[in-house]
Structure formats: C-alpha cells, structure tokens
Structure 1
C-alpha cells in the first residue's frame, strides 16, 4: 500500500510538470493497481516476447528512433557496456516516473554492436494517457545523448507490436570503394581498397531475392530463441553513388548477421574472386561452414536499419489519444539584439 501511494504521488508530479493529462490524475491509483505488466509471465528485461494484453488497462506508444551505434553494444538491454535500450529506458523512466518493468519497452529487432539505425521502431506502455506528446518528445530528446534521437512518438493501438506486427525491414550497407577513405564516412561505411565490379554484384544479388532457407548465411545466435531460417527477400539493390556503394536489402525478417554475411559474399564477387553463381550453391547447402570457405562477415559499422514497415491498419491512431509528435520548431518573434 505504501509503494502504491508513492507511485501515485510520483505520477501526480508528472501531471504537475505538464507531461500527464491532469484529468486522469484522480484515476491513477486504480490504473496503477492494474498496471503490473509483468503479471502475465512477461520478461522483466523487456524481451521481444512481451505483448500487452488489450483487455488490460494501459496505453501503448510507438517510437521511431535514429541512433549512431558506434559507442553502444547493440540494442538489447544490458548495463555495461551501455546499449540503446538501456539508455532509452533510463530516459523513459525519468519522464514517466515508471519502473522499466512497467514500461515493457520492446524494439522491432536487436541491432548488433556498432550497427546504426535511422528507422528503428519500439513501443512502450503507460497506465495513463497524455493530452499532448510534444512535451514528452522534447523531454526524451533532452535527456538522451546526442547520438540517440526520438524522431517520432505516436499513440498505438493495443494490438500493435513493434516486432511481431512488422511486415518487412530495410537495411542499407555502405561500402566506400576508393584508395583513400573519406574520414567523414569512417564510422558509417566499410572501406574497400579493391576495385569492385558493381555489375556482377547486382547480378549475384538477384539470387537472394525470393523465399528460401538462409541457414548458410546465419551465425549462431547468442540467445536461446529458435528462429525460422526461411525468410523472404523482396529486393536487393546495389547502387553506385560516386565512390560510395550502397547495398539496399528489404526482407520479411533477417537471421543473426544475415545481412552482413550476404554483403560479405557480394564483396568477394565484386572483387571477381568468385563467380555470381556461387550464391545459389551456398544457399542450397544450408550450411554456414560452406560460406566460411569463401568469406567472413563484414564489420558492423557499415550497416544501418533504415526502416521497419507495417500494415496501415496497425498504424491507425486510437480514438481519444493525442496527435503524433514529430518534434517542434522554435521561432523568434522579436530580435533580442540591441540596435546601435
């Protein structure tokens, strides 16, 4: 009872700060009583298996995130070295005054150490509604380090799930193909000094398109989840932008290090060390050892999660919820410098 009273007072403080709809404050005690989102067997670590029960009292919020993954040990929660989820949860707990187990933060996928994102999607829950999301948005970005930004925050339907509702993901892998590396690209592109034949790389990339078993292109995962090795690749484009080679791949989902392993093989083909026809042979083997005969994984810093796509019906705004926030511009109405 004492703990519930302190939680209630903490949430009242959020209301006073303008982050919580004041009209909901009197009902918070009953909301908190039903907001133990860990009560149905959910992992306290906010695992991707967490699913909010639509019949349970609570409000769900969708985030679109961009981050430079250089200084982070990937997405998945851990305290040291820091991860994106850990830093984001710290900011959310300060803004919402909720415990991380109550937030149930879930990402669309677990980007690896050093991998970047422009369109990572996540969701979290609160036992209360908001009148406006602009203040929450500004508060989050004010607390987060400059290499992590919340690009968008929106109310979400109860059935929306950042991971399980996704229908496709788009990754880009950048290769800087020149004798001298551009220092401004060093954290975001892999430097290849060998002259690459992008034409044969495009030819080879076509073999990946379609639905097939990608076991040969998956490293052993460090978690105990059993993943379906059958994935569908919708497109795999190789685009020349001056010395920069951008490989764009869209698929229904990806296995652990699958994209980096596919890019690694295309690099060997681009160097003309092996022919494009090697791709279907390795796919048919379904054996990671077969790929290891020709190449190792490319480094993570060239990889970026660009977008996560959902059915439009899953992105509808629930009734009685605030509008989405995309950040707000500030304006100067009067020059503050004196005239001389």
Structure 2
C-alpha cells in the first residue's frame, strides 16, 4: 500500500480510502466488521463516512453507518489509532436533518457531538462539509445553464463560510476534530475558505471530496490544478460511477441487491444511452488488458496526477478485494492510450 500526505495536515493516508455509505441498508454490522478488518489488515488507514448515511438517505437510515462504525470501535478500541476517520455534516435540503437548514457554526458544533456519540470515539480526524449552502454544479448540474452563479450573493456566502469556520475552530480547540475538509464544492469555494482562513487565522481546508471517474472528469484540469498548488488533498468519490463502470447495469440489468435497485435521490442520472456506449467500450479495453472493468477504472483514477486517495465502497468482501487489487496494478502506455480514446469519444456521457 502506498501512502501520501493529506494536504498540509501532516497526516499520511493510504491511496485507498474505505467508503462506507452502504453499511446499514445494503450491508449489515457483520459485513462492515469484515470489510473494516480486511481493509486495515491490508494497509488501508483511511475510512470515510457521513452523518446522513446509509444511502439512499432517509429519516430511518440517518446515522446508521456511523453507528455501525461505532459498534465496531466499541469492540476494538485499541485499533482507533490505526486509521484516519473522516465523516461529514449534511448540507441544506434534507427535511429530516436539522429541518433542511443551512450549515452554520452552531450546526457544526452540534453535529460533531452527535457524530462522536454515534462513532463512539473521542475525536474525528477529518470533518467535512458534505455539500455547500449554495447550489453548486454537482449531481448532474454541470451543464451550462443548470446553475446560475449570478444569482448567488457572494458576500452572504462569505459570511456563512466565516461562521462555519469559527464553529470548526471551536471543535478543533476542544479536541473533537483534528482537521476539516470540503465536499461537492468548487474552485471558488475552496479558495474563499482559504482566503477567510488566512485572513482570520482560522483552520484551513485540508481536502475536497468530489465525484470523479472515467464517466465524470469535470474537475480536470482546473479544480485539480488548484488543489495541487494550494495543498488541498483531492479525494475522488464514486470512481466507478455508482457501479456503472463495472458493466453490471448494461442493457437495463439491475442485479438483485445492487444499489440501482434502491430508490435514488434525484433519479438515476448516470443511466444514459451515452453511458451505455462508453461503458461497453471500457469493458472491451479491460478485457484486452486482462483486468476487470472495475480494476481498469480504479487503476486509471489512481494514476491521475493530483489524486490523493480514492474512495471505494463495496457491498461484499469479494468486491472489496477485487477493487483494492487495482491499486497494485500499473496501466501500460497502451492501456492508457486505449482508455483515452474512449474518454475522448465520450467525455461527458451524463
């Protein structure tokens, strides 16, 4: 396993981050225990969760994943020091989470306390803002016209960010969190948080978690370049495009128990005719180079300049083993060329 710096935090994280969002709906406590132990025993030292998990997010599933991790930690307290634990505060819009209200400094303090209780730990290594208070071009809103930036009150957003930073600082001073990061944000969002941190001597954003895969490369190159030069760790989520890149959903297939058999918030926006064509070609490339489709997609993501640690989730131990093996694979120049040919043909398939 390779390890790399997490921004300027001084922490070293594995190139693989264990995602957990299915634990509590698709996966049981026993499943989670098995995955955690396998990941730790094989060099993974980075685990990511969120208060709103498991998914699909509902009032009933809220907090379940953190509770499952906490259950494991209660039985393995000596292993808490073996890994870096990241979680997130939900942004606005979910009626069952703080009545759908914006993130604020007060909300951060309250949510941190609640997560610590569910996780059964004294501290969180990386506390992330799951999505901003303003609407950003994520979750299929990346095409021109889907978001109107001119409608955003920049000064009001800046005031809200400062309040959030002050709440995060209170949590850091209390020893409840060590560092903070962003998620589903933009280059402007990163830089405004950094500007405010520098101006007011407040905690600095350590990382950002955004969707990134062979089917969704919108952060390349501008946001990724910004992350490199500002020492903000870039953490891709959904590197398999919600399972699309495995090929298991081709031709309308919905394998029993798979994620796409569950209700999906905002619809299955990755399920498009162009995705079908792109995935079909990626499967051919994977077969040519003796890799599984998942391994091809993950190995590609891992080698992208600027990627820090890729978040992978699995609903079975077999899937986890297959996925983790990808990070020991090196793509040949021919494989990279074949991948690029498909990427150029289908650069934005959803």
TM-score range, shorter chain: under 0.3
> Which structure is richer in relative contact order (CA contacts within 8 A, separation 6 or more)?
1
Q: Which has the larger radius of gyration?
A: 1
Select the structure that is richer in helix: 2
Select the structure that is richer in strand: 1
Please give the TM-score of this superposition, normalised by the length of structure 2.
0.26
Please give the TM-score of this superposition, normalised by the length of structure 1.
0.27
